[in-house]
Amino acid sequence: MPDLDLFRVLTLQDYNTRIVVGGVTVLGLASGVIGSFMLLRKRSLLGDAISHATLPGIACAFLVLGALGLDGKNLPGLLLGATLSGGLGVGAILLLVHWTRLKEDAALGIVLSVFFGLGVCLLRIIQKLETGSAAGLESFIYGKTASMIASDAQLILASSLVIAGTCGLLFKEFTLLCFDTQYAGAQGWPIVALDITLMVLVVGVTVVGLQAVGLILMVALLIIPAAAARFWTEHLPTMVVGAAVLGAVSSLVGALLSALLPDTPAGAVIVLVASGFFLVSLLAGPARGVVGRAWRQSELRRKIARQHLLRAVYELSEMANHPPSVRRNELLARRSWSPRQLAQTISAAERAGLVVPTEPNAIRLTEPGRRHAARVTRNHRLWELYLIEHADIAPSHVDRDADQIEHVLAPEMIQKLEALLLHQDRDRQPPASPHALEERP
Amino acid sequence: MIWTLLDTQIVIIGALCAMSAALLGNFLVLRRMSMMGDAISHAVLPGLALAFLLTGSRASSVMLIGAGVVGVLTAALTQAVHRSGGVDQGASMGVVFTTLFAIGLVILERAARNVDLDPGCVLYGALEPSPLNTVTLLGWDVPRAMLTNGIVLLLNVGFVTLFYKELKISTFDPQLATTLGFDATWLHYLLMTMVAITTVVAFESVGSVLVIAMLIVPAATAVLLTDRLLGMLLISVAVAALSALLGHLGALHVPGWFGYPGVDTSTAGMMTVVAGGLLAVAVVAGPRHGLIRRALRQLDLTLRIAEEDLLGLLYRFEEAGRTATRPQMVAVLQQAGGLRPWIAHLALRRLARAALVDDASLTPAGRRRARDLVGAHRLWETYLDQHLELPSDHLHAPAERLEHITTPGMRRQLEDEVQQPTHDPHGRPIPRDETSE
C-alpha cells in the first residue's frame, strides 16, 4: 500500500526515518548558518578542503587506536583524529595564505590534495595490515546517511546547538569580519582569534556532518543554502536565517523523498533539492535574482527611451517657426532609434499621458509632458554647460556625454550645477542649448 | 625490494600524467581557479553514467567522451552562475560540482542498479596496476595508460606552445587582452576543455587524487621559485616528474620506516605527499620568496637601521662632549628603540669590521657617515616643523624613520626647501655635508 507508506513516512512513524530526517535537518540548519559567513568571507570551498583533510586524521586515529589495543572504529577517537587533521589543514591554509605569495584558492587545493593523498597512503597501509577490519573506514568520509543511528543524530544535535549558539553570540563580530576585516582590526577587534573561531566552527560542523552524511553532501550543505539565500536579501541577519531555513528544508524534503522512493541515496537527493531551491532563487530572488535584475534593467531602458523622446520633441518644437506638433520622421532623424523602438516609446508615452497624437504621424507634448520634457532638457543642457566651462570640452563634443548623464542627475546635483553655472537666470526653463541644435546628425 | 620493469613503467606513467596536469595547472593557479580540477573530477560522474546508459558500453572511449563533455559543462555552468548570479567563483563552483555529482549518484543508483557498473571501479583508476593493461603499438606491448597520458601530454605541450602568447596575456592582464582586440573567452573555454580532458584521462588510468594534486601543487611550487612564466612552466614540470620518481620510491620504502616492514602503499598518494613536501621546501627555503630568505632580509634591514642608530648616538655623545661605553650604548638603544641587545651587539661588531667605529668611539670615516645621518635627521625635523606644522615633541619619531632612507638627492632638495638653516627646531646645529662646505 503506497498510500500507507506515504503516510507512515510523512508522519515519521519509522524510528529510522525519524532519526535520519531529524539529524540531517538540524545539520542543514547549522551548515546554512556557518555557510553564510563562509560565503561572505569568500571561503565557500573551505568545507571541501577540510572534508578531504580529515582523511589522514581518521586513518591515523585508527592506527593509533589499534596500537593501543582498542577498537579501531571507536567513534570519539575517530572524530578526534578527524578534527585534529581538519584543524591542521585549516592551519596550513592560513599559513600558506599569510606567509607565501600563494592565493587562497591554491592554498585550498594544495591542502585538499596533499592531505587526501596522505590519507590514501595510510588507508592502503591499513588495508594491507589486515589486523583489524578496516572496512567501513572509508564510509566515514563517504557517508552513510540512510543508516544513521541515534547516537549520530544526538551528536549532530548537540554540536549544531553549540555552533548556532556561538554564531548568535558572535553575530556582530562575524558580520564585521565578513564585511570589513581591516576596519574591524583598526577598531581593536581580535580578528585573528575571530577568524580562527569561525574556522573551528566550520571544522566542527564538517567533521560531525561528514561521518553522518558524507563528503559531497557536507560540501553542498555548506555552500548551496547560503548561496541561494544571498539572492533574496541584502540584509545579513535575514540571509543567515534564510540560509538556515533553506538548509533545513532541503534536508527535510530530501530525506523524506529518499525514504519514499526506492533506491535513491539520501545525500544525493538532499543536494538536488537544495540545488532546486538555488535555481529558483537564482531566477526569482528579489534582491539579486536574474529575473528581477532583468526587469529593473528594462524598466530603466524604458525610462531612458521616454526621456529621449520627450527631449527630442521639446527641442524640435523649441525651434523657430516650428509648430508644437512634431512629425515622426523628424523624430526618427534626430536619434539612432529604429522605427519600431520609436513607435513603442511613443505609445508608452501616450499611455502615460505625456504626449498626444495630433495627426496620424505626428505628436505633441501635453502639459505634464511639457514640464517633464523641460526638466530633462534642462538637466541635459546644464551638464553640457558644465562640461564646456569646467572640463574644457569642445561644444561639439558635449552632447553625447550629457545624453548619458541627464537621466541620473539627482536634484542636489542639479542645484549645485545651477549655482555654479546660472548666475542670473534662475527660472525653471532650460537654458539655451550651448551648441547649435541643427548641427546634430 | 627489487626494482623491476613494472616499477619503471609505473614511474613513467605517473610522470607523464603529473607533467601534463602540472603544465596546465600553472594557468589555473595564476588565474586563481585552482579548485577546477577538484570540481571537474567530482562532476564527471553523471557524464560517465549517462554515457554508459546511452550506449550500454563500458568502453573507455565512450566514458571519456561523456566525462569530457560534462567536464567542459562544469566550467561553463560555473561561469554562468558566477556571471548571471553574481555568485563568488568558489561558491558557484561548489554549487555546480556537488549538484552534478548528486545527479550522477542518483542515475547510477536508480538506472544502473541492474547492471554491473560500480562507480568505484569505473571511476577511480589506480596507478600500480596500470602497466598491466597493455595495447600493441608498432609491434610493442605498451601500457595503455602510458599511451593515453603520453598523448595528453603532447596535446598539452602543443596547446601551451601554440597559444603561449595568448595564454600569457589573458592570464596576467585580461583587460589588456580585451583592449588589444583579443577575446579571452574562447581561450578560457579551450583551457577548461584541456583541463577536463587531462583530468578525465588521468582519472581513468591513474586515479583522481593524483590529478587534483598535480594540477596545483607543482605549479604552486613554481610560483614560489620564479617570477617568469616560462621558468614557472619548466619548474612545475620538473617538480611533477621528480614527484613521480620519489613518490614511487617512497611508496615502497616509507612504510618500512614507520615500523611496517614489507608493506608498500599507494604510489599516487605518495606522489602527492612528495609534491607537498617539495612545496614545503620551496616555502621555507625558496631563493627569493622563501621564509628563510625573507627572515634574513628582515634581519639585514634591522641591523642596518641599528648600525645607523648607533652611529647617530655616538655622534650625539661626541657633540655633548661625553663618551660612552658599549653597554651604555646598548642600554640607550634598547630603551629608545626597543632594540634587542644581541642585535645591538651584532650591529656594533659590523660597524667595527667596516672601520666606522673603533671600540666605542667614531673613526673619521664613521664620523662623516654619522654627520650625514644626524644632518638628515635634523633637516627632516626642520622640514616637518616648517611644512607640516607638527608640534615640536612630535618631530623626532618621523625624522628617526626618514633619516634611514634619505638619499643625497633628497637631502639637497630638503636643504633647498627649508632654506639652508643652521639649526633644527630644537636649537641643535645641523651638521653640513663636508663636500658642500
Q: Are residues A212 and A358 in the same domain?
A: no
Residues A209 and A307 in one domain: no
Judge if A76 and A194 occupy the same domain: yes
pLDDT of residue B53: 80
Q: A119-128, A308-317, A319-328, B307-316: which has the minimum mean pLDDT?
A: A319-328
Q: How many CB pairs under 8 A join A and B?
A: 200
pLDDT at B279: 95
Asked if the structure places residue A104 within a domain, the reply is yes
Q: Mean pLDDT across the stretch B50-72?
A: 78
| Minimal C-alpha gap between A17 and chain B (Å) | 19
B5-30 confidence digits (pLDDT tens): 888 888 999 999 999 999 999 999 99
Instruction: HSE, CB side, 13 Å, CA atoms: give it for residue A297.
Output: 7
Residue B10 covered by a domain:
yes
What pLDDT is recorded for position B236?
Answer: 96
Q: What ipTM was reported for this prediction?
A: 0.85
SS3 A143: coil
Statement to judge: residues B229 and B345 lie in one domain: no
Each residue of B315-357: pLDDT tens digit? 888 888 877 777 877 787 777 767 788 888 888 888 888 888 8
- The β-bridge relationship of strands A362-365 and B134-137 is unpaired
Cβ under 8 Å to A: B residues 309-338:
none
More confident residue, A320 or B161: B161
Q: Please give the grid coordinates belonging to residue B56.
A: 550500454
pLDDT-based confidence at residue A375 (cuts at 50, 70, 90): confident
**Residue B270: its chain A contacts at CB < 8 A?**
117, 121
Whether A240 maps to a domain, the answer reads no
Q: Can you read off the three cell numbers belonging to residue B218? A: 607543482
pTM, full prediction: 0.83
Task: Give the residue among B303, B306, B298 at the shortest CA–CA distance from B333.
Answer: B306
Kindly report which listed range (A24-38, B405-419, B422-436) carries the lowest average pLDDT score. Answer: B422-436
Angstrom CA distances, A249 to A204, A244, A254, A276, A438, stand at 21, 8, 8, 12, 64
Supply A77's cell numbers: 577517537
Q: Which of A120, A227, A289 sits opposite B266 (nearest CB)?
A: A120
Q: Do residue B216 and residue B301 come from a single domain?
A: no
Mean pLDDT over A144-170 rounds to 83
Lowest-confidence pick of A158-172, A192-206, A418-432, B417-431: A418-432
Q: What is the pLDDT of residues B90-143, one digit of tens each?
A: 899 999 999 998 898 888 777 755 555 555 544 456 777 777 777 777 777 788
Residues B373 and B262 in one domain: no
Q: Is A268 on the interface with B (CB under 8 A)?
A: yes
Asked if the Cβ–Cβ distance from B224 to A102 is below 8 Å, we say yes
Candidates A48, A93, A113, partner chain B, best to mutate (most B CBs within 10 A): A113
B273 vs A48: CB contact, 8 Å cut-off? no
Which of A117, A216, A265 lies closest to B213 in CB terms? A117
Please list, in sequence order, all residues whose beta carbon lies within 8 angstroms of the beta carbon of residue B66, skipping any fewer than 6 positions away. Answer: B44, B47, B48, B49, B50, B51, B52
How far is residue A20's CA from residue A251's CA, in Å, rounded to a whole number?
10
Q: Which of A3, A8, A10 is nearest to A253 (CA)?
A: A10
Q: How far apart are CA B37 and CA B40, in angstroms?
A: 5
Residues B181 and B307 in one domain: no
**In this model, does residue A382 exceed pLDDT 80?**
yes
In a domain, A284, yes or no: no
Residue type, A348: A
What range does the domain containing A304 cover?
294-439
What's the pLDDT score for residue A333? 83
A36 with A138, same domain: the answer is: yes
Beta-carbon contacts of A415 under 8 Å, excluding residues fewer than 6 positions away, are none
Q: CB neighbours (10 Å) of residue B356?
A: 21
Cell of A370: 511639457
Residue in B192, B195, B283 with CA at minimum distance from that of residue A102 = B283
β-strand partners of A365 = A355
Domain final residue pick, A217, A235, A260: A217
For residue B106, which residues of chain A lie inside 8 Å, CB to CB?
264-265, 268-269, 272
Number of domains observed in the structure of chain B: 2
Percent of chain A topping pLDDT 90: 22
Asked whether residue A247 carries a pLDDT value surpassing 60, the answer given is yes
Within chain A, how many helices (H) and strands (E) appear? Answer: 19, 3
pLDDT above 60 for A438 = no
Contacts of A96 in chain B (CB under 8 A): 283
To the nearest whole number, what is the mean pLDDT of chain B? 84
Most confidently modeled of A231-245, B204-218, B299-313, B349-363?
A231-245
Both A156 and A70 in one domain: the answer is yes
pLDDT of residue B425: 78
Same domain, B276 and B340: no
Q: Look at residue B158 and tell me whether its pLDDT is greater than 90.
A: yes
Residue A277 lies in a domain: no
Query: What pLDDT is recorded for position A145?
Result: 65
Return the pLDDT at A1. Answer: 42
Q: Is A66's Cβ below 8 Å from some Cβ in B?
A: no
Question: How high is the mean pLDDT of chain A?
Answer: 84
Is residue B234 classed exposed, middle or buried when 0-12, 13-18 and 19+ CB atoms within 10 A define those classes?
middle
Cα–Cα distance measured from residue B437 to residue B428, given in angstroms and rounded to the nearest whole number: 18
Share of chain B above pLDDT 90, in %: 25
Residue A268 lies in a domain: no
What pLDDT digit, counting tens, does each position of A187-244 carry? 888 888 888 889 889 999 988 888 778 888 889 999 999 999 999 998 999 999 999 9
Rounded to whole angstroms, the Cα distance separating A225 from B95 reads: 9
**A167 and A308 share one domain:** no
Kindly state whether residues A184 and A321 are assigned to the same domain. Answer: no
Tell me which range, A48-57, B62-71, B274-283, B401-410, is most confidently predicted by mean pLDDT: B274-283
Q: What is the CATH number of the domain that holds A420?
A: 1.10.10.10
Bigger pLDDT: B58 vs A284: A284
Q: How remote is the C-alpha of A346 from its chain's centroid?
A: 38
Is residue A144's pLDDT more than 70?
A: no
Q: Look at the block and give the residue holding cell 532638457.
A: A377
pLDDT in tens, A387-435: 888 888 888 888 877 887 778 888 888 888 888 777 655 555 677 777 7
- A54/A212 Cα distance (integer angstroms): 14
In sequence order, what are the beta bridge partners of A362? A327, A359
- Helix, strand, coil shares of chain B, percent, nearest 5, are 75, 5, 20
CA distance B259 to A56: 18
For the CA atoms of A318, A319, A320, A325, what is the dihedral angle to 10 degrees?
Answer: -70
pLDDT the model gives residue B122 = 47
Strand order in the sheet with A355-359: A326-327, A362-365, A355-359
B269 contacts in chain A (CB < 8 Å): 117-121, 124
Distance CA(B221)–CA(B213), nearest Å, equals 12
Query: Has residue A412 been placed in a domain?
Result: yes
Q: How far is it, in rounded angstroms, from Cα B362 to Cα B314?
A: 7
Answer yes or no: do B231 and B152 share one domain: yes
Asked if residue B323 and residue B239 are part of one domain, the reply reads no
The CATH code of the domain that includes B228 is 1.10.3470.10
Q: Does A278 touch chain B (CB under 8 A)?
A: yes
Reading the block at residue B149, the C-alpha cell is 597520458
In angstroms, rounded to a whole number, what is the distance separating the alpha carbons of residues A241 and A3?
34
B233-266 pLDDT per residue, tens: 999 999 999 999 999 999 888 887 877 777 788 8
Boundary-marking domain end, from A198, A217, A236: A217
Q: Is B279 touching A (CB cutoff 8 A)?
A: yes
At residue A361's C-alpha, the angle toward residues A356 and A367, to 5°, is 20
Task: Please name the residue of chain B whose CA is at the shortest distance from the CA of residue A284.
Answer: B85
CATH number of the CATH domain containing B390: 1.10.10.10
Whether B415 and B379 have beta carbons less than 8 Å apart is answered as yes
Coil, strand or helix at A101: coil
* Closest chain A residue by Cα to residue B100: A272
* pLDDT higher than threshold 90 for residue A378: no
Report the pLDDT averaged over residues A287-308: 89
Residue A430 CB coordination number (10 Å): 20
- Of B110-114, B189-193, B389-393, where does mean pLDDT reach its minimum? B110-114
Of A217, A232, A257, the domain-final residue: A217
pLDDT digits (tens, 9 = 90+) for A73-105: 677 888 899 999 999 999 999 899 988 989 889
Same domain, yes or no, for A31 and A172?
Answer: yes
Q: Is residue A334 part of a domain?
A: yes
Q: Does A337 share its domain with A422?
A: yes
Q: Are residues B264 and B310 in the same domain?
A: no
- pLDDT, greater one: B40 or A148: B40
Residue B428 belongs to some domain of the structure: no
Contact B35 A44 (CB under 8 A): no
Considering the domain boundaries, does residue B108 fall inside one? yes
Residue of B nearest to A115 (CA): B273
Q: How many angstroms separate the CA of residue A230 from the nearest CA in chain B?
A: 9
Same domain, residue pair A173 and A61: yes
CA angle B133, B135, B138 (to 5 degrees): 150
Contact status, residue B72 vs residue B191, Cβ threshold 8 Å: no
In chain A, positions 123-152, which contact chain B (CB-CB < 8 Å)? 123-125, 128-129
Best of A97, A104, A124 to disrupt the B interface (most B CBs within 10 Å) is A124
Handedness of CA A53, A59, A62, A68 (dihedral sign): negative
Q: How far is A436 from chain B (nearest CA, A)?
A: 34
Residues B186 and B56 placed together within one structural domain of the fold: yes
**A385 within 8 A of A431, measured Cβ to Cβ:** yes
Residues of chain A found within 8 Å of residue B272, distances taken between Cβ atoms? 113-114, 116-118
Domain end, chosen from B286, B312, B329, is at B286
Q: Domains in chain A: how many in total?
A: 2
Pairing of strands A362-365, A326-327: antiparallel
Regarding whether A153 and A41 lie in a shared domain, the answer is: yes
Same domain, B230 and B357: no
Residue B297: band (very low, low, confident or very high) from pLDDT cuts 50, 70, 90: very high
What are the backbone angles phi and psi of residue B357, rounded to the nearest 5°? Answer: -130, 135
Domain finish residue from B244, B270, B286: B286
Q: How far is CA B381 from CA A292, B336, B401, B430, in A?
A: 60, 18, 11, 10
Identify which of A109, A125, A231 has the shortest CB distance to residue B38. A109
Report pLDDT for B115: 53
Count how many residues are written for chain A: 441
Whether A168 has a pLDDT exceeding 80, the answer reads: yes
- The closest alpha carbon to B9, from B182, B102, B123, B132, belongs to B132
Share of chain A above pLDDT 70, in %: 89
CATH code (residue A89) = 1.10.3470.10
Cell of A61: 586515529
Q: Is B381 on the interface with A (CB under 8 A)?
A: no
pLDDT at A7: 66
Say if the Cβ atoms of B289 and A113 lie within 8 Å. Answer: no
Residue A311 belongs to a domain: yes
What the block records as the C-alpha cell of B167 is: 595564454
User: Which of B231, B251, B286 is the endpoint of a domain?
Assistant: B286
DSSP category for residue A430:
P
B90 and A110 within 8 Å at the Cβ level: the answer is no
B264 and B405 in a common domain = no
> Are residues A37 and A154 located together in one domain of the fold?
yes
From the candidates B99, B107, B124, which should be mutated to test the interface with A, based on the most A CB atoms within 10 A?
Answer: B99
- B91 inside 8 A of chain A by CB: yes
pLDDT at A143 over 50: yes
Same domain, B279 and B347: no
**Structural domain containing residue B313:** 294-417
Inter-chain CB proximity B32 and A105 less than 8 Å: yes
